[in-house]
Amino acid sequence: MMLLKMFLAFLGIGAVAFGGGYAVLPLFERIIVDQYEWFTRSELLDMLAVSQVTPGPIAINSATFIGFTLYGVVGAFLATVGVVTVPVVLISVVSVYQQRFKNSKAVQAIFRGLRPALAGLIFASVYTLSGDVMIDQWSYLLFLLFVLLLVKFKVHPIVVILLSAVLGLLIYWP
């Protein structure tokens, strides 16, 4: 029964996961932390960090990691299938009708409306999760450094991830 509950939770997340991985983070937080209490925000953040380091979409990697942590290989499989089922079906249907509707004013209007909502979802995720991330003065300094490196100097995200790991070792390891 618990495997079914987890599968349905990820099926629901996948059904409304428009905008990619970062836009889905508030859903992960709301369902996994608040609703089912499978993990704390801190534990979810750690899982998201690992999901960022591994190749692939963050929503799929996170679902796989969370499913594995909860129920092993079967949990990983079911969480992954759950989170991708609805998007795969939708993409399959949309691809069939894409040519017919690509110039539709209604479809264009829908996407124009979705874009600000997606940006809002990403911002909300950053805001709510940052409370568990910003734990001391180093956190704020590192955050500013990484934003500067990414935005101003266009440093590759992989370099930032590796640098953050090294700095984490230097600053936080006893």
The pLDDT score that the predictor gives to residue 19 is 64
Q: How confident is the model at residue 20 (pLDDT cuts 50, 70, 90)?
A: low
User: Do both 73 and 150 map to the same domain?
Assistant: no
Residues 98, 62: one domain? yes
Q: Is the pLDDT of residue 138 over 80?
A: yes
Closest CA to 44 of 1, 13, 4, 11: 13
> Last residue of some domain: 118, 133, 148?
133
Beta carbons within 8 Å of 39's beta carbon, 6+ residues apart: 32, 33, 47, 66, 69
Q: What is the pTM of this model?
A: 0.75
Q: Which domain holds residue 68?
A: 2-133
38-84 residue pLDDT tens: 999 889 988 888 887 778 888 899 999 999 999 999 999 999 999 99
Looking at the structure, tell me whether residues 113 and 151 fall in a common domain: no
User: Do 120 and 145 lie in a common domain?
Assistant: no
